[in-house]
């Protein structure tokens, strides 16, 4: 199991590789061995056949040779010594002796010239007349006897006949020499005769013939052995070479099949398993989990800032960054877990064995931590963020499709609401479609120039009624739904990265307007609202610096409002950003003061200049004693900390009176002025400039 997990991790199926190699080697070698054995058997068989055929031929040829020698001896040597009468009438004893001597000498004379005939020494000679009667024989007693053998009859018909002598019973003597005799019947026919006049029967010792045969056979054997051995060796070499080539080709084929399989199941850029392999492993893990009642988790990861890297630095940087993501994620996983790349900046993690949702969540947090550590791409530091959707079987689905889809939905929610890692939960996490529509529409609105505008609400100094500044408030004129209140889209945008783009737009519009007012001689401080999300963004101070420079507005004229609760949510992180903004010379306000739970200690540490008391307390202070106490306390607190105090939601003259009595510095509210388009405020500014000091709404 453990090895299987390791193998899975390395993208290798858990097959016993060394075992496979052994089997391959065996198959491969057995091919050559099989051929070796088969080839040897076949070659030996061929040898045996060749030997048999040739040895028979050699034996036959030797016999024929002996036969021919006899015929030649008879025809050339013996026959001239005889006359037709000798055969017809028999020999007289003198003539018989003469003939016998002549026969011997002619035979030996003939043999002298021929090496093959030299071996032939007729041991016995008989001459028959045409009736089969012996007219001459070395054994004189036989003269006058008649033979009726088939061989003789055949010879009397004109054919040369030969056979081994029938009376030689033992084929070999005590020394192993062949004792057989070759009996050859040669027809003798004189000129003018129509049929043979008689037959000569010559007995030859077979031993010389046998010796010649065995010598020939020995030569044949050696020749056969040598040539077959050479043949076998050559064939073996050819087969071994062919087998080697075949093996190489098979290996190449196997390699290419392996490569194809790898390509089909792995991501080309990162080499990580792809969607296909992930689905396979997920299906497998689900089957295993179903048997063991275990749980399987799927995590879908989306890199939030990856597009920026790609857009600003180019795709090759994006690619190099992606290459580092897999190992980062893998580093916080166990051996059997799978990291896959689904495409683009989307990754997935399969935890085939997980101890419930809690463990999946903690793995997701570990992954996020790992990915939030700075990446070094060729010396350039890159920061990305990751949104993770989590789905755990069987609760969130029991099929690979369901689990993947639900992990995807959870990831989408995590991304849209900047919620980090989100566990799929059907009821809670389905994003209301209205919110999704808002997001889509807002995204589109940000791409256009005319839908999003900024209204400005004047703020007046309570001491002298002077127009002290204005708050920039975003306005969205939806093409179909008309004016959409900020309360409907700001929280939705805050759940996503859209709030950053929205803030940038408002800052840009407000600063451009401030520039125009400044050009017209009005140095009006303007406050822009920031969301929590913006305060957590380390790049905000840079953005503000850039925009201030672009519009040529002094930092001191810009005021940034952050809600109390936003700062209190993560004081440490916000503090850094606030300090950098403060260092730029930008003024900072705590908005909606009283709704959060800020401690004195924190307030003291924050580099803020202004406190805006939430309108609910301002409006309530003339109704309940509690709110009145709170407003009074807030004003005292702010003053003790050296901060300016602004009262929001001033709706009536009674509010102005109480606030002035309490020593509040600035007032903002419908009673004094509603948020208005820039042009309207421009008109107001002109009028205010023309009016004598103190003759204002708050006065
Ligand atoms: P806020 O920053 O506290 O802004 C004051 C809100 O109170 C504004 O509502 C303003 O129209 C309203 N208001 C002013 N005087 C009175 C009054 O006398 N009575 C009553 N009942 N309301 C008054 P608005 O414009 O609807 O904005 C609501 C909130 O939306 C803002 O509260 C602020 O938190 C947020 N917001 C508006 N513009 C932006 C923006 O550009 N960026 C961000 N992040 N938030 C914004
Ligand atoms: Mg505000
Ligand atoms: Mg407020």
User: Coil, strand, or helix at residue 199?
Assistant: strand
pLDDT tier at 462, thresholds 50, 70, 90: very high
pLDDT tier at 103, thresholds 50, 70, 90: low
Residue 26: pLDDT over 80: no
Q: How far is the CA of 115 from the centre of ligand 1 (A)?
A: 137
Domains and CATH numbers, the chain: 31-214 (3.30.450.20), 275-430 (3.30.70.270), 437-690 (3.20.20.450)
In ligand 1, the atom with minimum distance to the C-alpha of 671 is 18
Q: How far is the CA of 549 from the centre of ligand 2 (A)?
A: 24
Cβ 491 under 6 angstroms from ligand 1: no
Mutate to test the pocket of ligand 1, among 648, 655, 681, 698 (most ligand atoms within 8 A of CB): 648
In ligand 1, the atom with minimum distance to the C-alpha of 503 is 42
Cβ 663 under 6 angstroms from ligand 1: no
Residue 342: pLDDT over 70: yes
Cβ 675 under 6 angstroms from ligand 1: yes
User: Coil, strand, or helix at residue 575?
Assistant: helix
* Residue nearest to ligand 1 atom 4, measured at CA: 473
Cβ 529 under 6 angstroms from ligand 1: yes
Ligand number nearest CA of 612 is: 3
C-beta separation of 328 from 370 below 8 A: yes
pTM given for the model? 0.48
C-beta separation of 658 from 622 below 8 A: yes
In ligand 1, the atom with minimum distance to the C-alpha of 614 is 3
> CA 27 from chain center: how many Å?
27
In ligand 1, the atom with minimum distance to the C-alpha of 455 is 25
Ligand number nearest CA of 460 is: 1
- Mean pLDDT calculated for residue range 560-576: 80
pLDDT tier at 85, thresholds 50, 70, 90: confident
Q: Where are the alpha helices (DSSP H) in 266-305?
A: 275-292
Cβ 537 under 6 angstroms from ligand 1: no
pLDDT tier at 605, thresholds 50, 70, 90: confident
pLDDT of residue 5: 39
> Mean pLDDT across the chain, nearest whole number?
84
Q: Each residue of 389-405: pLDDT tens digit?
A: 999 999 999 999 989 98
Torsions phi, psi for 648 (to 5 deg): -95, 160
Could you say which DSSP state residue 586 is in?
Answer: -
Cβ 670 under 6 angstroms from ligand 1: yes
Ligand number nearest CA of 527 is: 2
Q: Each residue of 681-694: pLDDT tens digit?
A: 999 999 987 765 44
Q: How far is the CA of 560 from the centre of ligand 2 (A)?
A: 9
Q: How far is the CA of 572 from the centre of ligand 1 (A)?
A: 26
C-beta separation of 296 from 403 below 8 A: yes
Residue matched to tokens 């050339």: 76
Cβ 106 under 6 angstroms from ligand 1: no
Ligand number nearest CA of 592 is: 3
Cβ 458 under 6 angstroms from ligand 1: no
pLDDT tier at 327, thresholds 50, 70, 90: very high
* Residue nearest to ligand 1 atom 34, measured at CA: 529
Higher local confidence (pLDDT), 575 or 204:
575
Q: How far is the CA of 589 from the centre of ligand 3 (A)?
A: 10
In ligand 1, the atom with minimum distance to the C-alpha of 651 is 18
Cβ 594 under 6 angstroms from ligand 1: no
Ligand number nearest CA of 475 is: 1
Residue 476: pLDDT over 90: yes
Q: How far is the CA of 311 from the centre of ligand 3 (A)?
A: 36
Element (H, E) at 214: helix 207-265
pLDDT tier at 12, thresholds 50, 70, 90: very low
E strand intervals along 265-418: 295-303, 338-343, 346-354, 375-377, 380-382, 386-392
In ligand 1, the atom with minimum distance to the C-alpha of 485 is 26
C-beta separation of 388 from 420 below 8 A: yes
Cβ 649 under 6 angstroms from ligand 1: yes
Cβ 669 under 6 angstroms from ligand 1: yes
pLDDT tier at 436, thresholds 50, 70, 90: low
Instruction: Provide the residues around ligand 2 (an ion) whose CB is within 5 A.
Output: 529, 561, 591
Q: Where are the alpha helices (DSSP H) in 495-553?
A: 498-519, 532-535, 540-551
C-beta separation of 150 from 174 below 8 A: no
């Amino acid at each position: 199991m453990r090895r299987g997990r390791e193998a899975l991790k390395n993208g290798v199926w858990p097959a016993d590789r060394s075992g496979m190699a052994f089997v391959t080697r065996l198959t491969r070698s057995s091919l050559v061995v099989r051929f070796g054995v088969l080839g040897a058997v076949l070659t030996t068989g061929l040898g045996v056949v060749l030997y048999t055929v040739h040895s028979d031929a050699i034996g036959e040829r030797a016999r024929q040779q002996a036969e021919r020698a006899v015929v030649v001896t008879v025809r050339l040597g013996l026959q001239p010594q005889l006359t037709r009468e000798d055969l017809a009438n028999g020999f007289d004893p003198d003539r018989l002796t003469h003939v016998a001597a002549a026969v011997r000498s002619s035979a030996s004379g003939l043999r002298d010239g021929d090496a093959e005939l030299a071996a032939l020494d007729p041991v016995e000679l008989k001459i028959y007349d045409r009736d089969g009667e012996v007219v001459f024989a070395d054994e004189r007693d036989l003269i006058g006897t008649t033979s009726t053998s088939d061989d003789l009859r055949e010879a009397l018909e004109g054919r040369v006949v030969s056979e081994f002598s029938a009376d030689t019973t033992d084929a070999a003597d005590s020394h192993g020499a062949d004792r057989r005799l070759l009996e050859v019947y040669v027809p003798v026919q004189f000129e003018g005769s129509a049929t043979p006049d008689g037959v000569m029967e010559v007995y030859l010792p077979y031993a010389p013939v046998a010796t010649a045969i065995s010598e020939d056979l020995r030569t044949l054997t050696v020749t056969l052995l040598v040539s077959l051995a050479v043949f076998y060796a050559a064939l073996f070499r050819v087969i071994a070479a062919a087998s080697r080539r075949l093996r190489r080709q098979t290996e190449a084929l196997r390699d290419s099949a392996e490569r194809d399989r790898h390509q089909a199941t792995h991501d080309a850029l990162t080499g990580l398993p792809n969607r296909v392999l992930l689905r396979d492993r997920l299906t497998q893990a689900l089957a295993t989990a179903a048997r063991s009642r275990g749980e399987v988790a799927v995590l879908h990861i989306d890199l939030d800032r990856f597009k920026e890297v790609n857009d600003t630095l180019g795709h090759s940087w994006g690619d190099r960054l992606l290459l580092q993501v897999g190992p980062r994620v893998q580093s916080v996983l166990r051996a059997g877990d799978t990291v896959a790349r689904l495409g683009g900046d989307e990754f997935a993690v399969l935890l085939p064995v997980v101890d419930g949702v809690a463990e999946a969540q903690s793995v997701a947090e570990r992954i996020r931590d790992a990915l939030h550590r700075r990446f070094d791409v060729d010396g350039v530091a890159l920061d990305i963020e990751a949104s993770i959707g989590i789905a755990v079987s069987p609760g969130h689905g029991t099929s690979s499709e369901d689990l993947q889809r639900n992990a995807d939905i959870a990831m989408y929610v995590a991304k849209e609401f900047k919620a980090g890692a989100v566990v799929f939960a059907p009821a809670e996490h389905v994003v209301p479609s209205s919110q999704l529509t808002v997001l889509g529409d807002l995204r589109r609105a940000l791409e256009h120039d005319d839908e999003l505008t900024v209204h400005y609400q004047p703020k007046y100094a309570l001491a002298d009624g002077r127009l002290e500044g204005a708050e920039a408030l975003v306005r969205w004129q939806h093409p179909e739904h008309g004016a959409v209140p900020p309360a409907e889209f700001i929280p939705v945008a805050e759940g996503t990265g859209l709030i950053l783009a929205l803030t940038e737009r408002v800052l840009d519009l407000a600063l451009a307007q401030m520039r125009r007012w400044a050009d017209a001689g009005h140095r009006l401080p303007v406050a822009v609202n920031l969301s929590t999300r913006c305060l957590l963004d380390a790049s905000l101070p840079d953005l503000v610096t850039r925009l201030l420079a672009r519009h040529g507005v002094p930092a001191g004229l810009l005021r940034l409002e952050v809600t109390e609760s936003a700062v209190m949510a993560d004081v440490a992180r916000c503090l850094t950003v606030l300090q950098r903004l403060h260092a730029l010379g930008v003024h900072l306000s705590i908005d909606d003061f009283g709704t959060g739970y800020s401690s004195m200690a924190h307030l003291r540490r924050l580099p803020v200049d202004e406190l805006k008391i939430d309108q609910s307390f301002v409006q309530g202070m003339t109704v309940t004693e509690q709110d009145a106490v709170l407003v009074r306390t807030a004003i005292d607190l702010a003053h003790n900390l050296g901060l300016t105090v602004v009262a929001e939601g001033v709706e009536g003259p009674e509010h102005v009176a109480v606030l002035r009595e309490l020593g509040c510095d600035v007032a903002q509210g419908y009673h004094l002025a509603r948020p208005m388009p820039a042009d309207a405020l421009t008109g107001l500014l002109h009028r205010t400039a023309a009016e004598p000091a103190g003759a204002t709404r708050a006065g």
